[in-house]
Chains A and B, each alone.
Chain A
Amino acid sequence: MEIVYVYVKKRSEFGRQCNFSDRPAEINVDIQPDPGLTANFIERDPIDAGIQCASDMSEHEVNTERFEMENAGVNHLEGGWPKDVNPLEMEQTIRFRKKVEKDENYVYTIIQLGSLMEHCIKQNNAINIYEEYFEEEETADVADEPPSAKTINVFRDPNVIKRTATHLSWHPDGSKKLAVAYSSLEFQRSSKDMSYDSYIWDLENPNKPELVLRPSSPLVSLEYNPKDSHILVGGCYNGQIAYWDTRKGGQPVELSTVEFSHRDPVYGTIWLQSKTGTDCFSASTDGQVLWWDIRKLTEPTETLVMDISRKGVLENALGAIALEFEPTMPTKFMVGTEQGVVITCNRKAKTPAEKIVGTFSGHHGPIYALARNPFFPKNFLTVGDWTARIWSEDSKESSIMWTKYHMAYLTDGCWSTIRPAVFFTTKMDGTLDVWDFLFKQNNPSLNVKVCDEPLFSLRLQDNGRFIGCGSKRGTVTLLEVSSGICTLQRNEKNLAMAMFERETKREKILEARHREMRLKERTKAEGKEEDVKVETEEETPEELLARVQKEFFEIIEAEIRRKERAAKLSKPQAKEITDENEDEDEDPYKEE
């Protein structure tokens, strides 16, 4: 049915202006209610309706724009003198002063004020109103407040193309400056316009870096010399080592020669304790650890190949990512490798083969952080794959304590400098965890979301209160932790020591038990071989791979289903989000 309206207009009236006129309201359509439809509805009595007698409010956020501040000096000249007196002329000023002193008002005023002042001076001398009474009573530390962390400041990468903040180093005196190394760790993903600069930030001024370091290749690691706060050593993405003197500006003072440097990015550089204070050593994923004297960077003073078979063959070497050195034990050092093995080495060994003392394996992926506990150097923390593990040097088979497997990859970790039982870790989902294993062992005692992008590096200031975290987009966030986390609790050292010893003992007992069982099996197997030829189905590598893959996926599916069930019981909305995240996390690791 076509709806058409036909009207007629004279041709001579086309284009004529419209004459509008008023007319009263006219009902065009009147649709009456159809009583027959009431049969479809049921009357409801009573009706529950929610009413709130409250004013409507809306939420609105306002953030002031960041303004740039710059320090500038002003030169003042002496003022206030009357026009005829030149403040620089001694005679004129003295004459003026004498004139004022002869003034009657002056005399009267001074005498009045003098007596008032004397009264107060005598008061001060009589009693000290701010005296501290009962100073010996120490107020009991009320540590009931839950641990918290507050963001103090954020330093953003000023370049347009953001690079990852891969390493942070605090200034050794007073920690008012932070040196940050920026580079892009994604393989062959760095664009031509990416700047190579790394910055030294002054904590007071987050808008502009205090000093720009310009290496020839982006810096992956950067360290202040603890003995001389003007010297920094940096490891470059192309394997070279460079050192800067902040008094000389942003260009490196010297760069190591390419032929004798590493062949891969230098992931770790640490200063050594030496009389001259100019020794450092560096490690890289090309499998070498090189020692340098910065006065002569043309070639390393010593090299060591990370080959655990102790033959020094570079092809078999493991790539080193984390380096650890404790100044109280100057001959020993540890290297964390890409293959998940920690190698302890002794620098003073006579032959290169003896330099590698022992290995600890247990991680499934590269070890991104390696740190000794500052109070109990025998125990060290490794951070890699999805867990953080604590090891003891005595127990070589496995770690003594470990965290659960997280949802996100762990990227960096360090011990607290004040409390022996506290350590910090950062994850790829942008959160910082504070673990206190005397308080809670299953979960971190504090989990803080620092930013939306993955966090890559972490560094605690020496006083244990401030933490700098570097993220993938070059944002360094400065956090302050609550006092509960950075004050030593009563008896903590003893409790931590007892816990370490207990766990070490437990591991040793387990080790011994395993050894016994293996020995028993071996004797049993040897006995059986003479009687019966055991038919063992030799699985071909492909079948083995297929079986392992199937098992892996089954476990993942079971885990997902379990999480779904748990999520459904608590929050139905969050379910979709966690599911999506899980799926994304799975894909990169399927091939491993």
Chain B
Amino acid sequence: FRPCPIATVARRESRSHAGDSSCASLAMAEVEETLKRIQAHKGVIGTIVVNAEGIPIRTTLDNSTTVQYAGLLHQLTMKARSTVRDIDPQNDLTFLRIRSKKHEIMVAPDKEYLLIVIQNPCE
């Protein structure tokens, strides 16, 4: 009797699929791990990833706070970047740190995304 051909085909298919998505899922896993690692550091209150339109993609804070931070910091980062480039067009903004009485807001800008971390520095 012939063995069930569907199962083997299915296995083959799943193997190929696993091949494609493996790098994607690996990468995604790495992203997850990076964000988790950042959140786990001492003093970190929250992490937000914002895209170019100001939409929060990933966040560990509640929605209203996230939306507030995303909107405000996005504008500020744009302004800071344009300031740096106005002074010297070859220059560009690499990092933005805002230290306030209560905590420190760190913004890592990129062409399309923004990584925002709020940390309570050890004092």
Known: A78-B67, A100-B51. A113 touches B99 (CB 8 A): no
Identify A111's interface contact among B31, B41, B121, CB under 8 A.
Answer: B31
Cβ B41 vs Cβ A125 within 8 A: yes
Give the number of residues in B that approach A within 8 Å (Cβ atoms).
Answer: 37
Nearest Cβ on chain A to B42's Cβ, whole angstroms:
5
Q: How far is the CB of A101 from chain B (nearest CB, A)?
A: 7
Report how far A17 CA is from B16 CA in the complex, Å.
Answer: 112
Stretch with Cβ within 8 A of B (4 or more), from A116-124, A283-291, A406-414, A441-449: A116-124
- Contact string against B for A residues 190-208, beta-carbon threshold 8 Å, 1 for contact and 0 otherwise: 0000000000000000000
- Chain B residues with Cβ below 8 Å from A105 are 112
- Check B122–A124 contact: CB distance below 8 A: yes
Cβ-defined partner of A107 (8 Å) among B27, B117, B123: B27
Question: How far does the alpha carbon of A117 sit from the alpha carbon of B44 in the complex, in Å?
Answer: 11
* B46 sits at the interface (CB 8 A): no
CB of B73 closer than 8 Å to a CB of A? no
Closest chain-A Cβ to B29's Cβ sits at a distance in Å of: 10
Asked if B76 is at the interface of the complex by the 8 Å CB criterion, the answer is no
A121 adjacent to B41 (CB under 8 Å):
yes
Given contacts A107-B31, A112-B110, A128-B123, contact A121 B57 (CB under 8 A): no
Say whether A102 faces chain B, with CB atoms less than 8 Å apart: yes
A102 touches B115 (CB 8 A): no
| Contacts of A341-379 to chain B: CB distance below 8 A | none
Query: Can you name the residue of chain B whose Cβ is closest to the Cβ of A79?
Result: B54
How many residues in A have their beta carbons less than 8 Å from beta carbons of B? 32
Flag whether A571 is at the interface (Cβ < 8 A): no
The distance in angstroms between the C-alpha atoms of A102 and B119, with both chains bound, is: 27
A79-102 vs B, CB cutoff 8 Å, 1 = contact: the mask equals: 111100000000000001100111
* Interface segment out of the listed B6-14, B32-40, B82-90: B32-40
Q: Is the CB of A124 within 8 A of B34?
A: no
Q: What are the residues of chain A within 8 A of B117 when measuring CB–CB?
A: 117, 121
- A selection of 16 A-B contacts at a CB cut-off of 8 Å is A78-B67, A80-B53, A101-B58, A106-B112, A107-B28, A109-B112, A111-B31, A112-B110, A113-B110, A121-B43, A121-B44, A124-B119, A124-B122, A128-B122, A128-B123, A131-B123
Binding site for A on B (CB under 8 A): 24, 27-28, 30-31, 34-35, 37-38, 41-44, 49, 51, 53-55, 57-58, 67, 94-95, 97, 99, 104, 106, 108, 110, 112-113, 115, 117, 119, 121-123
Considering the complex of A and B, which 8 residue pairs feature the smallest CB-CB distances, nearest first? A114-B34, A80-B53, A113-B108, A113-B115, A107-B27, A124-B121, A80-B54, A121-B41
